[in-house]
A and B are shown apart, each in its own frame.
Chain A
Amino acid sequence: MSHFAQLVVELTILALAIFLGVEVISKVPTLLHTPLMSGTNAIHGIVVVGAILVAGAADPDLLTSWVGFVAVVLGTANVVGGFVVTDRMLEMFKKREPPGPKDQA
């Protein structure tokens, strides 16, 4: 595929993804806006893929290897932290309290 043709395909994907994103996200209730933020935070952690490509290059020079290393650290922190914190948050949203003794004073 020529470079230009590939660019057009990528732009098409971008445009469709934006419209899809707006559709899907406008259905998220305000109740869940914080989990939405932290969930999308986790999703943009996908840049870790780019970080791995940089860090995994064969025979990188000094700059590439350190930049790749730091990018992997940041990207992984983004991914793991984002999903874990969102999971913790969503666990709390309950319809009714679980039955049991209320012991807090």
Chain B
Amino acid sequence: MSQNWASLLYLVTIICFILALRFLSSPTTARLGNRIGAVGMAIAVAVTLALEEVHLNWRIVVGAAIGATFGAVAARRVRMTAMPQMVALFNGVGGGAAALVSLAEFHNRAPDPGRLHADVSIAIVASALIGSVSFAGSMLAFAKLQELIQGRPITYPGQQVGNLALLGAVVAAGVALVAGAENEWLFVLVIIGSLLFGVLFVLPIGGADMPVVISLLNAFTGLAAAATGFELGSNVLIVSGALVGASGTLLTMLMGSAMNRSIGNVLFGAFGQVSAGAGAAAVTDGTVRAATAEDVAIMLAYASRVVVVPGYGMAVAQAQHAVRELAEELEQRGVNVDYAIHPVAGRMPGHMNVLLAEANVPYPALKEMDEVNPEFPQTDVALVIGANDVVNPAARNDTSSPIYGMPILDVDHAKQIVVMKRSMSPGFAGIDNSLFLDPKTVMLFGDAKESVVKLVGDVKRL
């Protein structure tokens, strides 16, 4: 196929991708949009295979077969609770592919003097650098989320200085490459350094900060793809990369503002380690009231409005199906049940929505924070399942608290609060929660799933 026809067909791909994102603005059209995107991708792949300079060979056929099998099987088998690590994994392989394409481009074009214009070599180095950081960072995020390594922040003295020095060295080597040092070993060194930096920069970030990192790595891979587009002179890569980069950047900023923290603070703050004792002094008076499942069942069954507040604990316990059953049981008794979703609940943007959708909860019942907060005073019972920091009133009224200023779900405005928790241990941020000592609060200790199943049985018996 000639270059001109190929370019025209690539434009069809671009339009398909834009429509795919456009259709994501509503749950009713989103699935169709995703399929349009897939069609666009199929067109791009077919056009590329038909290009005159592309010779079909075992590398393409076997490589595509392996990649497609792995991708399809992993995507089909993954449980919805494991979705954050799956997103991290697919993000990483994209970054890795971009870095490898750059390595091959540099290898084939650099030895030929005068063939590499400065802008192309900048693109090659940028794509290799960002792609490698994204690959290694995503793999580490995957390992953390999959609990192959501990999810808590890992810190050591001199960490930030060391990371900064490493990044500086990698960028300096990259600049040298652009300036004309067309040395392949230096290029490999840039890739190795970037991989190392990717690991080191995700190491001190963990737990509840994961949504920020995942979004940021998503943006990185987008940028790497756009840079690859510049090195290959491919508009479809430039546009796709820019779209993904914009999406990842927007999500990163959204997650940051949902935690009232700057992105710098998330990346370099190692939040879990700070101020374990900071909020502790404020809330020592008051007692914790533990309740039995029967008590809570009665409370719920005779309420007229219940709001469920899910958190990462619900995902860990895989309690979403039991929660939906409980809500159904209550609705049959005439109780109005809604779900309040905090933007950073879980380990990636929108995590709770996906889990509850999997459990067949109709999406109009999933309420955003701004929508549901004014409704808490009219709520009889707020049922907090495995959420902690996102319902901590200290964020509103304790200026000394590390999470002060973070927008929270105002569950303490509800008439009664039930907190389901495994134990009294503080949440991810290591901050005590005065909500637990509120006279309106009762605690239901135990595994979230077992507790909810018990609640369903008790409500049925009433």
| A positions within 8 Å CB-CB of B | 3, 6-7, 10, 13-14, 17-18, 20-22, 24-58, 61, 63-65, 67-97, 102, 104
Contacts and interface: CB of A to CB of B under 8 A. Distances in A.
A40 B59 contact: no
Contacts of B437: none
B374 to A, nearest CB: 17
B242 A18 contact: yes
A88 B75 CA distance: 8
Chain B, interface size category, equals: 35 or more
Contacts of B67: 72-80
B103 interface: yes
A37 B366 CA distance: 19
A47 B94 contact: yes
A100 B48 CA distance: 47
Interface of B: 13, 17-18, 20-22, 24-28, 30-31, 33-35, 37-38, 41, 44-45, 48-49, 51, 53-57, 59-60, 62-64, 66-68, 70-72, 74-76, 78, 80, 83, 86-87, 89-91, 93-94, 96-98, 100-101, 103-105, 107-108, 117, 119, 214-215, 218, 221-222, 224-226, 228-230, 232-248, 250-251, 321, 325, 328, 341, 343, 348-351, 353-354, 357-358, 360, 362-364, 366, 368
Given A80-B67, A93-B27, 6 more contacts: A42-B38, A46-B44, A47-B225, A50-B101, A53-B51, A56-B56
16 contacts: A18-B246, A24-B21, A30-B368, A33-B251, A34-B353, A40-B21, A46-B241, A49-B236, A52-B60, A53-B101, A63-B104, A76-B64, A79-B41, A80-B72, A82-B94, A93-B357
Contacts of A72: 59-60, 63-64, 67
A20 B97 CA distance: 25
Contacts of A35: 24, 30, 34, 350, 354
B70 A77 contact: yes
